[in-house]
Amino acid sequence: MIVAKPFGIPIETFLLAGIIHSNKEGRDLKTKIISFVVMAFLVVSGGIANSATTLMEIGRSPFCVPLENSDQLIAMVKSRAGEVEKGFELAGRSELYQPFMTQIETTQIQRNEYPKGTRFEWMFFKKKGKGQVRIARDVTWGNEDTFPGYQFDIEHEGTRSTFVVPLGCGNIALLGESRVEEPAPAPVARINQAPTCGMAVSPTKAFCGDTITVDARNSSDPDGTIANMKIAVVDKTGKVVSEKSVAGDALVSEVAMPCGTNTVQVTVTDNEGVDATSAQCTAEVTGIKRVRLVGDVGYYHQFDPGHYVFGRIGGEYRFTEEWSVLGLVGGAIHYDGLDGDDAFLVDVLGEYKFSRYFVNLGVGGWITDGDNDLDAEDDDFDMIAAVGARVFGEPEGFNASVFLEVRSAFDEMDQIDEFGRFGAGVRFRF
């Protein structure tokens, strides 16, 4: 039950009532009676509009169903966010809505008993639990019995607002507000701040043994200086492959690139002995072999005719990732055809790689025990050309390529269709 107690009447009420009541002499009794009734109505209305509210019973005008625990309170607030926002708007405290919604899940919620005389500045309610949210102001609990409610604080811009939500109705009520006293900061002893590590490595891919530059000049110390940096190269198993210490006045150094995939890690130390590293001070580097073992197997066809199977083995020396030279030795076995004979091969090929493809151009020796008076069987100094593509494996690991090759003696280029040897093969790099 809510009981209204008048405590003031606006001056406008008396003025309006006076205007109505101040009739000229000669008005009849009926007009006077009407004026009196209007004046009485305005007096009562003005009193009610400015009245306080005494709350005698919980649950007659609930905001929600009764609450059993604080989790239900939080769920109620979240599920009725729109109505809660409307309530703060009606209370003239819209600025509290966002802090209220944000802090309700983290603030400490206590269950208390509230005795007669407890006063609230305002309270949300719904008439008989239905319809729009309403606001009752200056609400006082008037029952002799206490009622249970949840109490919690919401802080906003240096003000602590204390709210109470009765368990029996879920009405949100403002109990009071106070300033949040900020404690004076205690004197803080100086604590050394750790340095910040920043690094760049160039290049990150190079031939094994080549030098790479490690530049940690992006490192800094907010309250001192960088005294030292340590460079460690670590393999995939976490083993340190190499380690180097550099004075802080340089912070730039060169290290040898190890083979395979490794990690360069830099740790900087400030002038008070505090170490620091970071993700920016870790970089993956790849060392590739300059020299590799190479082997070929394949078939040559000579239109004269002659049929050969051949094999070669040797090495590849890479000047860059694209350019290299191959030195190969092997043999070609003549197994069919009227012309030709077994031969010993000594070949030198230049190679250019692009993507998975390559081109060869070089010279070779075709050394045979055949009849040197016959162009199909004599020793030859050949020009060799080939094209191919990698079909298996990765460039820096074991891989296989297929290729097409033609070779012909320099003095037989005008008869390449007869004495030239055209072939296909597979090249393995180890």
Element (H, E) at 36: helix 29-49
Residue 59 and residue 126 in one domain:
yes
Question: Which CATH number covers residue 225?
Answer: 2.60.40.10
Residue 344 and residue 414 in one domain:
yes
pLDDT in tens, 206-232: 999 999 999 999 999 999 999 999 999
pLDDT of 43 over the 50 cut: no
pLDDT of 283 over the 70 cut: yes
Residue 44 and residue 66 in one domain:
no
pLDDT of 186 over the 90 cut: no
**Coil vs helix vs strand at 181:** coil
DSSP state of 127: G
Residue 295 and residue 283 in one domain:
no
Residue 237 and residue 163 in one domain:
no
Residue 67 contacts by C-beta under 8 Å, 6 or more apart in sequence? 73, 76, 150, 165, 167, 170
**Is 244 part of a structural domain of the chain?**
yes
Mean pLDDT for the chain?
88
Which burial class, exposed, middle or buried, applies to 101 when counting CB atoms under 10 A from its CB (0-12, 13-18, 19+)? middle
pLDDT in tens, 329-341: 999 999 998 888 9
- Which residues are 325's β-sheet partners? 317, 350
The token duo for 65 is: 């169903």
**Is 185 part of a structural domain of the chain?**
no
In this prediction, residue 6 carries a pLDDT of 40
Say which residue the tokens 């040898």 belong to. 256
pLDDT of 163 over the 50 cut: yes
Q: Of 7-11, 14-18, 187-191, where does mean pLDDT reach its minimum?
A: 14-18
Structural domain of 247: 200-287
Question: Which CATH number covers residue 310?
Answer: 2.40.160.20
Residue 235 and residue 133 in one domain:
no
Q: What share of the chain has pLDDT > 90, as a percent?
A: 76
**Is 192 part of a structural domain of the chain?**
no
Give the CA distances from residue 211 to residues 251, 256, 266, in Å, rounded to whole numbers and listed in that order. 16, 4, 16
Residue 303 and residue 281 in one domain:
no
Q: Of 12-26, 247-261, 356-370, where does mean pLDDT reach its minimum?
A: 12-26
**Is 80 part of a structural domain of the chain?**
yes
Q: What mean pLDDT comes out for the span 296-317?
A: 96
Overall number of domains in the chain = 4
Distance CA 410, CA 169 (A): 107
Residue 145 contacts by C-beta under 8 Å, 6 or more apart in sequence? 116
**Is 135 part of a structural domain of the chain?**
yes
Q: How is 291-334 classified by DSSP, letter by letter? A: EEEEEEEEEEEETTTEEEEEEEEEEEEESSSSEEEEEEEEEEEE
pLDDT of 47 over the 70 cut: no
Query: Closest Cα partner for 288 from 266, 317, 315, 264?
Result: 317
**Is 283 part of a structural domain of the chain?**
yes
**Is 187 part of a structural domain of the chain?**
no
- Which residues are 158's β-sheet partners? none
The most distant pair of C-alpha atoms in the chain lies apart, rounded to whole Å, by: 160
Residue 425 and residue 298 in one domain:
yes
Residue 380 and residue 393 in one domain:
yes
Q: What mean pLDDT comes out for the span 3-10?
A: 41
In this prediction, residue 338 carries a pLDDT of 84
Distance CA 137, CA 297 (A): 99
- Selection from 51-55, 56-60, 307-311 with the highest mean pLDDT: 307-311
CB 269 within 8 A of CB 230: yes
Q: What is the pTM of this model?
A: 0.51
pLDDT of 42 over the 70 cut: no
Strand ranges across the sheet with 211-215? 200-202, 211-215, 252-256
pLDDT of 83 over the 70 cut: yes
Residue 273 and residue 316 in one domain:
no
In this prediction, residue 278 carries a pLDDT of 92
Q: Which parts of 14-172 are beta strand (E)?
A: 52-55, 110-114, 119-125, 134-141, 147-156, 159-166
Residue 165 and residue 83 in one domain:
yes
Q: For 267-283, b where at least 16 C-beta lie within 10 A, e where not — what string?
A: bbbbeeeeebbeeebeb
Q: Give the other-Cβ count within 10 Å of 23's Cβ.
A: 13
Residue 97 and residue 142 in one domain:
yes
**Is 194 part of a structural domain of the chain?**
no
pLDDT of 56 over the 80 cut: yes
pLDDT of 164 over the 70 cut: yes
Last residue of a domain, one of 179, 212, 242: 179
Last residue of a domain, one of 287, 311, 341: 287
Distance CA 386, CA 351 (A): 9
Q: Model confidence at 374, in pLDDT bands (50, 70, 90)?
A: confident
Residue 396 contacts by C-beta under 8 Å, 6 or more apart in sequence? 286, 288, 289
Distance CA 196, CA 274 (A): 11
The token duo for 281 is: 């001070």
